[in-house]
Amino acid sequence: MTKLTLGSHPHMLGFEQLERLLERTAKTGNEGYPPFNIEQTSDYSYRITLAVAGFSESDLSITVEDRQLVIRGRQRDDSEDRVFLHRGIAARQFQRSFVLADGVDVGEAHMENGLLHVDLTRTKPESVVQTIQIRKG
């Protein structure tokens, strides 16, 4: 029995990119750090909020790579000249990826009380009706 994939199904023409997107999303190993929220702020806008306590703006980078929003954090380890009796807060790095649908654009990002907010907007889809002419012969 052969495996029927989304891109090879006879009624799903042109969905090969969606299948690759689903595979790529399944492979991203986001371990749960940092925690995040995704909220819908209006009919056509969203906000992703990450809890990034201990990170400054210069420790964070936000990029869009191939319709994928990538947020990276890297803290500088300045503990070389300090003596810790207990070290429960580790300087750690992270990478969080969010796949963006076509028509979703990344707006502004800002920090507030240890939370990084990234605003997204979605363009309103146009209703398109196309009539196809049938040639004779």
Q: List the domain range (segments joined by +) for residue 83.
A: 31-122
Task: State the average pLDDT over residues 97-118.
Answer: 94
Q: What is the mean pLDDT of the chain?
A: 85
- Report yes or no on 131 lying in a domain: no
Q: Provide the sign of the torsion angle of the four alpha carbons 96, 101, 102, 106, taken in this order.
A: negative
Peptide bond into 10 cis (omega under 30): no
Whether 112 has a pLDDT exceeding 80, the answer reads: yes
- Residue 116 half-sphere exposure toward CB, CA atoms < 13 A: 22
Sequence-ordered list of residues with C-beta below 8 angstroms from that of 57, at least 6 positions apart, any chain: 111
Query: How many Å separate Cα 79 from the centre of its chain?
Result: 32
pLDDT at 26: 64
Chain segment 56-104, per-residue pLDDT in tens? 999 999 999 888 999 999 987 777 788 889 888 777 899 999 989 888 9
In this structure, is residue 128 part of a structural domain?
no
Q: Is the residue at 116 inside a domain?
A: yes
17 shares its domain with 81: no
* Per-residue confidence (pLDDT) for residue 47, from 0 to 100: 97
Is the model's pTM score more than 0.85? no
42-74: string of b/e by CB count within 10 Å (b at 16+)?
A: eeeebbbbbebeebeeeebeeeeeeeebebebe
CATH number assigned to the domain comprising residue 40: 2.60.40.790
Least confident of 9-23, 37-51, 71-85: 9-23
Percent of the chain with pLDDT over 90: 50
Q: What is the pLDDT of residue 58?
A: 94
List Cβ<8 Å contacts ≥24 apart for 40-45: 41/119, 44/121, 44/122, 44/123, 44/124, 45/107, 45/119, 45/120, 45/121, 45/122
pLDDT at 29 over 60: no
pLDDT above 60: residue 19:
yes
Residue 88, pLDDT score: 81
Do 62 and 12 lie in one domain? The reply is no
Structure-token pair, residue 35: 């925690």
Residues 45 and 96 occupy one common structural domain: yes
> Based on the domain organization, do 99 and 110 belong to the same domain?
yes
